[in-house]
Amino acid sequence: MNPKYEVLAIGGSAGSLSMLLTLLPHLVPTLNIALVVVLHRKDSEDNTLVDVLRHRTMFAVKEAEDKETIETNTIYVAPTDYHLLVEKDHSFSLDNSEKVNYSRPSIDVTFESLADVYGPTVVGLLLSGANADGVDGLKAIKKAGGGIVVQDPAASVVPYMPQQALNALPADMLLHEHSLERFIQYLADKSQ
């Protein structure tokens, strides 16, 4: 039997918010999963994302804090201007080192770190964006045996990022508005 998914890692850039907001209400506590969300923001001082997400979900939503332990049924948002990494004891570490792919937080940094710690129990979801951040991260998740889901480029506001991912590796499934139920089922099959 495959191990269950413990963490859903979501990365997105330009045009990704609407898909995220559409997805959130479908996530139910019986999935027993934690979410780690890394979104590029234009304004590096903008801290309103947590409030935006909070209205769409029954999960707790908070900015990830240094040394905080990851718990299920919680959505952790990477703070602006720090990379978000994960330790072996499932706690977060923040890091303000150089930007990666012109981004801080960088999706690659968080995905690679989650792959290292959670291995086959992490599923990576890459959404719309104009940058190739997240592709190496998905490769790392794949290599560690985790799941790969990519927003359908045809259904993405900015298809570049998901298309780069699909050029680099096969996805377990494509996400668009009409495949949300199937996506939840995909998570559920692996998280009971």
Partner 1 sequence: MTADLQLTDEQIETILEDMVEVHGYDFTHYSRASLKRRIIRLVSLDKFLSFAEFRFKVRQDPSYLNRFVEQVTVNVTEMFRDETFYRTLREDVLPVLATWPLIRIWHAGCSTGEEVYSMAILLQEANLLHKSLLYATDINPAVLEQVRSGVFPLHQMKQYSDNYIRSGGRKDFSMYYTAQYDAAKFDERLGKRIILATHNLVSDRSFNEFQLILCRNVMIYFDKELQDRALKLFDDSLEALGFLALGSKETLKFSTVTGNYRQIENKEKIWRKIK
Kindly state the number of chain residues that form the binding site for partner 1, as judged by CB under 8 A.
25
- Tell me which of 59, 76, 82, 111 binds partner 1, using CB under 8 A: 82
Residue of 67, 68, 99, 70 whose CA lies nearest to 82: 99
133 belongs to the catalytic site = yes
Q: What minimum distance in Å lies between the beta carbon of 129 and partner 1?
A: 18
Can you tell me which of 79, 134, 159, 162 binds partner 1, judged by CB under 8 A?
Answer: 79
- 83 and 104 in contact (C-beta within 8 Å)? yes
Report the alpha-carbon distance of residue 132 to residue 59 in Å, rounded: 29
Q: Do 13 and 40 meet the contact criterion of CB atoms below 8 Å apart?
A: yes
Instruction: Give yes or no for residue 132 binding partner 1 (CB under 8 A).
Output: no
Sign, CA dihedral 67-90-37-104, equals positive
- What does the per-residue mask of binding to partner 1 show for 34-73, with x meaning CB under 8 A? -------------------------------xxx------
| Active-site residue flag, 40 | yes
26 Cβ contact partners less than 8 Å away, ≥ 6 residues apart:
180, 181, 183, 184
DSSP sequence for 112-170: HHHHHHHGGGEEEEE---SS-TTHHHHHHHHHTT-EEEEE-GGG-SSTHHHHHHHHHS-
Can 116 be counted among the known catalytic residues? no
Q: Residue from 94, 155, 173, 174 that binds partner 1 (CB under 8 A)? A: 94
Shortest Å, Cβ 161 to partner 1: 17
Question: Residue 126 or 140: which CB sits closer to partner 1?
Answer: 140
Catalytic residue among 83, 108, 133, 191: 133
Catalytic positions, please?
A: 13, 40, 133
Residues lying near partner 1 in the complex (CB under 8 A) are found at: 65-67, 79, 82-83, 85-88, 93-98, 100, 109, 112-113, 116-117, 136, 139-140
